Structure formats: C-alpha cells, structure tokens
Structure 1
Amino acid sequence: MDDSGFAWEQGPWRELIRLALPTALSSLSYSLMTLTDTLFLARVGAAPLAGIALGGTASFVLLSFWFGLFRATKTLVAQARGAGRDSDARAHAGLGILTASAAGAVGILLGHGVAALLPHLAGSAEAGALAADYLRTVSYGAPMVLLTVVLGEVRLGAGDAVTPFRAALAGNALNLVLAWVLIFPLGLGVVGAALATVIANTVETCWLASVQAREGVAFRAVRREHFGRLWRLGLPSGVQVLLELGAYGLLAAMIAPLGAVPLAAHQLVAQLLRLLGLPVIAIAESAAVLVGQGVGAGRWALVRRVASRAFALNGLITLGVAFALWGAGPALAAAATQDTEVRALAARLLGLGALVQLAGGANAVAGAVLRGTGDATVPALLGIATAWLGAPLLMWLLGYRLGWGAMGGWLGMLIENGVCASYLTARIWNGGWRAAGSTRSAPSA
C-alpha cells in the first residue's frame, strides 16, 4: 500500500455501502434457500414445515463450525491485501478450498448419521420422518455449501462483493424455480426442497470457482504458518458458531415436543427474521473487511472510524425493521401460512422478534469489527456463554415451567444478544482488541 492510504479512508460510508449492497444477498445465500423451502412447505402443511425446521436446523448445526472458521479466511485475505502480500492472500484461498473439500466429505457422513436420530426428537412421527428425509438429502450438498462459503469469504476479503452477489443471485433464482417444480408439480415435498438446494449450491460454487481461478489460487504456496493463522483466528469463531447454533438447535428441539404448531411458527419467524437481517449481516461483514485492511496496513485509527459508521447504518436499518414488524407482523404471518394456529403464534413471535433484531444487529456489527482486528477469542467465549445461558435456560424456565411456550426461548435470545452487544461495543471503544490476534505483532499506535 502506498503512503497516501486507502482510497476509502476519508469516506468509509461510501465503501461500507458499496460492499454491503451485494453482500446482503451473498452472505446468507444458503439461508435464503432454506427460507424459500420454508415458505413453499408452509403451503403444504404444518408437518412438512416442522420437518424442515428440525432437519434444516440440524443441517446448519452440522456445518456451523466451518461457517465460523472460514470467517478467518476473509480477515486473513483482507489483512494480507492491506499489507500488500498478494501471494499470502492466494495461499489462504488455496488452504480454504482444501479445508472446505475435506470438511464437506465429513459433513455427508455426519448428516446421514444424525438423520437417524431426528424421528426421536420431533413431536409427531410424520414431522420426524420428514426431518430425517430432508437432512439425508441435503447433506449430499455439504461440500458445495462449504466451498461456496470459503470462496465467498476469499472474494469479500479481496474487496470483491460483486462476484459472490452474482453467484448467490444465480443460485437462489435456480433454487426458487427448482423448489417450486419439485415440491408442487412433482410432489416430492421436503425431499424436493432439499434436492433443489443441493443443485443450486453446486451452480453457485462453480460460478465462484471460475472467477477465483482467473485470479489465481496458490495451493503449493500453502505453508504451516498459513494453517496456523487460519486455526488461531478461526478456531474461536468456529467453536462460537457451532455452540451458538447448537444452542439454537437445542431451542428448536425443546420447542418440538410442544407440537408441530409451535415448531412451525418458530421456524417461520426465524427464517423471516434471517431474511430481514440480511442488510445488517452485510454491513457487519463489510466492516470486517475494511477493518482487516486497516489493521493489516497498521492504520489502527480506522477501526473506530469504520465501527462508528457501521453502527450508525445498522441502527437505522434495524429500527426501521422493528417498526415494520410491530405494524405489519400479523399481515406477514397471514401471508406466509394458511394454518390459523401457526399464523396466530407467528404474529406474536414477530413482535418479540423485532426487539431481537435490534439487539442482534448491534451484536453482529460489534463481533464482525473485532474479528476484523484479529480479536476472536474473547468475543467467542462471551457468545458461547450467553447463547447457552440465554434461550435454552429461559425456554425451560418460562416456556416449560410458566407455560409461555416458544415465547420464553425468544425472550432468552433477546437477553443474550443485548448482553453481548453491550460488552463487545465497549471492547471496541476501549481498545481491548489491541492486545489480541494479529495486532500483537502490529506497530504501536
């Protein structure tokens, strides 16, 4: 990097928005496919919707460690680019691809093993059988899912948000068409939804791989130090995502015995909020890229500057989403499902979900900024602790003991996100990240 600094240094707003707009879709492409399947199956009935809730959650949990680990790839590529070490960036890309391929093969085996257990967790035999069918089928796409994730992280780390966006757009458009055909005209139900997702993920992976191949991937340049950096930075995030999604999976498993209606409403609201949260995730991941570039170049003052802009954008978006949910929650629930019981419970959960969205947005931005600096361990430990002491515990206390049902678990999610967001934001501003991760070897400010 030359002495004049980054082109975006005096105007982080524009760069955040430039990266965030395409990242809004590409960062959660797999979730969007699951949302499409969820909305289609909501038209079929409560049992298929409950089946994809349980099977889809299990699929996310099984791959979640790698989702977290590969966040480090984005940070390492961004820091290497910021420091002018393009060869290191290509080596991290190669290591990510090799790791994703091996992990995907293991994911197929784990998916089939866990599928045999799902019928014992569901509230009805039909929902349990459908959940097992969905997981067995969708697990064949595990290698493609992980390759899509790691290639997307490499492109984002290089400041290229357009390629992941285009690939995700193509994959999701294909999934939309295939899911409709396979679920309705062909009558394949949850298996059809899973097949559509596998095929669409394969197309998305091929798109990303073709672009990355033109820029170059240095498989032979991978050294022990690249492996060490990936795991030092990625392991805390990987464990965090695994255990946080494990806690979320436990919450779904705790709701399942209450019946198909509570589980279906929980799945419907969770997927809708994940869609509405796309802009927040995009801002958070874009901030991580800019912070990573700044730290790689030794420009530590950019951390707070980028963070402040990211928090401001996040606040505007999440407040708007919250007001929309409070005003239009019942209408959204009515549009999503024809089941009157599911509709009524989903409308109540959406009201509480608006508050979860506010706290979760701030938590996502703070965590991403810290990951961009290389500070991953402390945020991960806090996230793990609050995830397991939040939703599952309050689901037991309020949902079971006091009879609040799924509402108890969602209140727990609100509390855990609020606690994390408060602490991590303070850590950014008091400079606690300076003693962590890659900044240990950085020059003093």
Structure 2
Amino acid sequence: MTLMTNHAPAPDPNRRLTTKEAAELLGVKPETVYAYVSRGQLGSRRGQGGRGSTFDAQEVESLARRHRRERQPARSGGDLAVRTRITLIEQDRYYFRGVDATELATRYSYEEVAEWLWTGVLRPGVRFTAPDASVSAARRAVRALPEISGPADRLRVAAAAAATADPLRFDLSERAVLGTARTLIPTLVAALPPVSRSHRDEGSLARRLWARLTGRPVDEAALRVLDTALTLLIDHDLAASTVAVRVAASAHAHAYAVVSTGLGVLEGPLHGAASGLAHRMLLEVLDQGSAAPVVADELRAGRRVPGLGHPLYPGEDPRAQALFALLEQVPEAAPALAAARDVVATTARHVPLHANVDLALAVLTASTGMPAAAGETVFAVARTAGWIAHALEEYTEPPLRIRPSGLYTGPRPPQPLPSAADAPE
C-alpha cells in the first residue's frame, strides 16, 4: 500500500469527494475507504442520482493527516507497536471497540457480536452457515486423522481443507474476507465429529457446537453459558496467537491461512489449552471432596494452580465474573462451582490470586459432561472471529511491517568452513 506524501495538495473544502478521490488522498484502495466508513472513521452520503458515495473533504484530509502521523517509518528494529481499534484492557475491564465486552456478551449472541466487531453493524438474529463443499472437504480431512488427534489438530486440518474448496481465497478485499469468515467458523464446527447421535445442525453456532462437546441433551441455561463464553473469548488484545495472526496477515496470507496460524499457536499449554488443566483439577477436587490436598499437590510440585491469576487483571478476570454469574443459574453446575470457589479460597491462604476465565470455563465443561479438551475447542472457535477482525485491520496496513530485528549472539565471522573431521567419532 502506498502512502500519500506530506506534499499532497489538500482538496477543496467546499466540495465533496468521490470514492476514488478519497482513496487517492488517503493512499488506499477504494474498498478500504468503505472499511473506514463501516468502522466509523469516515462519514459518507449518497451521490447525486443515488450513484456512489461522497465524502466530506475536510474529514478525509483530517484522517489522512492522522494516518501520516501514525505511519511514520518504523525503527530499524521493526514496528512492534501494533495499533488496533478492536480491544482495550484497563482497570480490570475489557472493551470491544469501546463497548464493555461483558455487557455485549450477556446481551447478544456470539454471531451477533462477531458480525458487529467485523463491520460495525449489529444484525439481530444473524446466523453463520457453511456451504456444502466446504463442510464436505473439512469432514473428509478430519475423518482421516487418528483418533488421538486433539481439537486444535482437527480444527487446523479443517481450516486447511476448507481453503482447498475455495478458489477465491486469495481475494483479500474486506467483502471477500467477511464472506470467508461467515462460512469458515461454521465449517470448523461442522467438521468436528458429533458426540450426540440426535444432533441437528441448525440454530445458533453455540447450539451446533454443543452436540460436538457433549452427548447430554441441550440444557438452555448451560447453552447460554456456552454462547456467552464464546462471545467473551472472541478477542483479548494481542495474545500470542493474535500476534502470530497479525504477522501472517501482514504477509498477506489469506484468511484460512491466518486462522491456521492462530490455531497452531493456540495449541500450546500456556494459551488455549489451559482450561483443560483446570477441568482435570476440578474433577480431582470433586473426587476428594476438598481442594486442600489437590492445591497442596500442585504447590508441592512447584506448579501454578490452574485457572488462577492473569497478568492483565490485578483483580478478578471480568470474563470469569460474567461466566460464574451465569453458572449460578445452572443447577447441575453447583458442585463444580463450589469446587472452583474452594480452590480459590484455599490458594488465597498462600497467594492472593483470583479466578480467571479458564477456571470458569472448566466449571462449564466439567458440569456438562464435556471432556477436558472441550475448553480448548470453545476457545479456538471463539477466537477465530477475533483473528479475522485483526486480519481485516492488518490488511489495510503497509505489508510486512511487523518484522523485529534479530540480535545475533553467535560467533563473529569470519569462521572456517566446517569439515567432516570436526564430527565426533
């Protein structure tokens, strides 16, 4: 993407600009101008005769000046300060585009919030559906995996298979990427083998996912917790997987590859898989009837107690607060909820740590007959929407901008060529 220079002539403030003129002044493609409109950065009006859009010249020039300030040449070490308009975390709260994320999650569905996060438009009742070709390709690939394959394995393979069914995947325009997002997420869910034989692939994404996580009949109160968890986990600023996603998008990888990148990082035990450790711990607490011996074993082994503490929240994780409040309305969750509170209280005698979202997610999975890996699945499906949002942002930035410099610590040259005589016998 080319940028306007500081010597570009300012437009006549007394007339409105066409889309082409606005794009030239901003140094972007016309579709990016409409992306700025959808995100509230620019206002637009229909042109005379209802053809095309027009833009206030002074507003466009103001945005162009701001972009020129923000896009100063990067330091020699690369641009590591990634500007984003998606998530803000401060004072034990977090916000999606300035709106309290926990309030969004308790009021709107996962699909509604994802759509709003991408486009700035709230579409009540929106449902994401997947084309048959995409689902068939993904299911065939997943069925070929060994039975011991984990959730991230299945989702990553499903994403790659779905990409092969989309010959237009290299179109990185906002419209095309949004179309991919709306079909890829339900494809990932549909590709997972159902646990319940009586499942039906209809209704909300959370309802379709439920049948892939547990064989129990749908409990509406627990289903609401699942949907809220999906929404709460959509994004969380620049987590490890999101940084990887932005690097991939900066290289103009297509949306399927971007999501595959995020899934690869998510598989680490310190990121998306953390709730599985908390799930197993809760089952052990329930089995022993007390958190004390379980917590003692964790501390004795020098391990962190799963599901406690978060570096971004000195107090309690707001995502955990929201889920615990909903779990109180699920009678079947009462034992696991009590076990989680016992863990928090027992650990607090030694270290003042609060519950995080992994512990709340573990209460949901442990109380609904889901396996320990279910939390990882929920996390991965949920975060896919956030990865898409970050990719959409990154596609409008100069490509390959996220490139830190390596600090070489090896032997200084010149060094002699290696030889076979140097090999140990």
TM-score over 0.5 for the alignment? no
Which has more helix, going by share of residues?
Answer: 1
TM-score normalised per structure 2: 0.31
Which has more strand, going by share of residues?
Answer: 2
TM-score normalised per structure 1: 0.30
